[in-house]
Structure 1
Amino acid sequence: MAAHNVRRTPLERLEYAIIVSTLMFLVVLTVQPLLNLLAISFSDPGKVAGMSGLTVVPNGFSTDVWSLLVNNPAVQRGLLNSIFITLVSTVLGVVLTALMAWALSRPGLPGRRAIFVFVLVTIVFEPGIIPDYFINKRLGLLDSYWSLILFKVVNAWYLIILVRFFEEVPKELIEASELDGANPFQIFWYVALPLAKSALATIALFYFVFHWNEFFRAMIYLNDQSKWPLQVVLRQFVVEGDKLAMVGVVDSNNYTGASQINIRALKAGMILLTIAPILAIYPLILKFFTKGTMSGALKG
């Protein structure tokens, strides 16, 4: 009998209903705060004060908050800085992690065990912020994007994930490639990487989220506010309550409309602006998780 013709027992139907209901409840819990922020950011600024945390429909409609945020020079610079830092860090991280992981996955690598021990030591004994600061100072990286880009450019945890993944590459494929005259780099490029698409997508997502959300190091190493990423701008406004910074003025006396700007609506818009890229990248990455690990081998 075909699987779709099999009838569920009453107990199975109850279990199915409970599972679906639980998942739907979790979806609502996850999406509702985002819809609330979206509703507040698009509501009439004069009506935001009366909105509760459960509201998901705008009270009135206004784009004043988004116009203010998008046209704010600090937000524009912060967004461009975050995009640059995150993209460069992610690309470098994935490339260097993949190269190092492939080398460590080869049994014949000299000193392989010693290198693994060194990697594990960096996980257990992570350097403190003070020695890290002096190292960056000696290297001339203070007030430079590279102080953020080079930080954990090869993450030890992600490296171990890729090493274990590359170790599962069938030896038969490698031996067949060697018999066809492929050099080590060609084997890495045409055999290992196509098989590791799902793993590479996973660590790319990890690197992207890590560097996009980074603000602590930026606060310490970047004194030039024009180089601040968006997360630092967000902290300045949401945590410190620097309303004038978001309005784009220094002196409230020079901006008569400053008192009319609803700070709650500004916070909602700013929070959504900082998490939007993370929400947008997930669907692009998830498609790699559904593909078989053997798809694409030896292509190219």
Structure 2
Amino acid sequence: MTTSIAPRRENLLARMRSGQRPPWMERPGWFGQGAKAAALVLIVVMVTYPFLLALGTSLAGQKELEARGGYVLIPHHPTVQAYNVLLQGGVVTRAVLVSIAITVIGTALSLLCTVTLAYGLSRPGMMFGKSLLMLVLGTFLFAPGIIPTYLVVQQLGLLDSYASLILPVLLNVFNVIVVRAFFQGIPDELYEAARLDGAGELTILRRLVLPLSKAVIAVAGLFYAVSYWNSFFNALLFLNDSGKYPLQVILRSYVVQGETINAHALGVNVLPPSISLQMAVLIIALVPILCVYPFLQKHFAKGVLTGAVKG
């Protein structure tokens, strides 16, 4: 067997030295390229079509919806009446503000706890570091259930407060492990040079580690932000006052459960079509994440390149 493998290895090395591609890296033919292009187009259509359908329906009027059977992809006479009704100071406006506040504050606190814990666990000389690491990893195997979590929140006096939407999910173990692994990949010579200059651990973290870790922190921050923004179950579980509900609970009420909007509570005489209001709430819930992601895309790409050139 070794005699048959050796010639193949020499042949492969010779092709690589001559600049030729290995067999598995050859450019695909026209059929392969066409299949890839068709698959990409199909994926783009599957992703964008529901969003465009919801957006078009939210901008359509009553007559156009009735003429096209309830859903409109491209409205001929678009109107923003549904958005004006929802964002003129009613339930949806308050829910949007609540979701933004919870997402911003929760993401900031989660990143602070994640970065500090990951940095401590990444340092080899930390006291009880291995025991704490095993305790953190143990939460993967023994996740708390709904009833224990509710009882803990109740005993801490956090029921019907915004803190109950942040503190129980403040740390995500997966993000901690990812950030810790990134910190461990920073060369030890940089840490030693900083200590020789008289820098303490806090200074090293703030002036050395954080500037080098923008990519992984951006990724963890996006994960936290999406989790806080899309969370609705904890609000249903811990909040009794419907006035404190975040946007996702309102979205669930209008779209999934089919609740109607009270026209008198909004101070209007005639409401837009219910399907337009539902799709408008859906678009309002999607737009913030769609607006934030492009600004973090460069950090994603930078993180990939950084991991590719590490030796």
What amino acid sits opposite 2:144 in the alignment? P
Instruction: Give unpaired runs (5+ residues) of structure 2.
Output: 1-25
May I ask how many residue pairs the two structures share in their alignment?
284
Q: How does 1:35-184 map to 2 (within 5 A)?
A: 35-51=52-68, 55-184=72-201
Point out 4+ residue stretches in structure 1 off by more than 4 angstroms.
52-55
- Identify the residue that residue 228 of structure 2 maps to in structure 1: 211
- Identify the residue that residue 297 of structure 1 maps to in structure 2: none
Q: Secondary structure at the match of 1:34?
A: helix
- Whether 1:16 and 2:33 are equivalent positions in the alignment is yes
1: distance between equivalents of 2:27 and 2:214?
A: 41
Relative to structure 2, which stretch is displaced further, 61-70 or 12-21? 12-21
Rg bigger for which structure? 2
Q: Residue 173 of structure 1: CA displacement?
A: 1.0
- Whether 1:238 and 2:255 are equivalent positions in the alignment is yes
2: distance between equivalents of 1:191 and 1:39?
A: 48
Instruction: Please point out which of 270, 273, 289 is paired with 2:281.
Output: 270
2: distance between equivalents of 1:54 and 1:232?
A: 23
Q: Deviations over 1:89-136 (max 9, x none)?
A: 000001110000000001111211211111122221111222211211
1: distance between equivalents of 2:68 and 2:133?
A: 55
2: distance between equivalents of 1:104 and 1:248?
A: 56
- Identify the residue that residue 190 of structure 1 maps to in structure 2: 207
Relative to structure 2, which stretch is displaced further, 200-209 or 178-187? 178-187
2: distance between equivalents of 1:45 and 1:125?
A: 52
Instruction: Give unpaired runs (5+ residues) of structure 1.
Output: 1-8, 295-300
Q: Closer, same or farther in 2 for the Cα pair 1:280/1:53, shift >3 Å? A: farther
Paired-residue identity, %: 35
Relative to structure 2, which stretch is displaced further, 170-179 or 53-62? 53-62
Q: Secondary structure at the match of 1:151?
A: helix
Q: Residue 156 of structure 1: CA displacement?
A: 0.8
Q: TM-score, normalised by structure 2?
A: 0.84
- Whether 1:257 and 2:270 are equivalent positions in the alignment is yes
What amino acid sits opposite 1:137 in the alignment? Q
Q: TM-score, normalised by structure 1?
A: 0.87
Q: Deviations over 1:138-181 (max 9, x none)?
A: 21111100001112211111101111111111011111111222
Aligned partners of 2:179 and 2:216 also within 8 Å:
yes
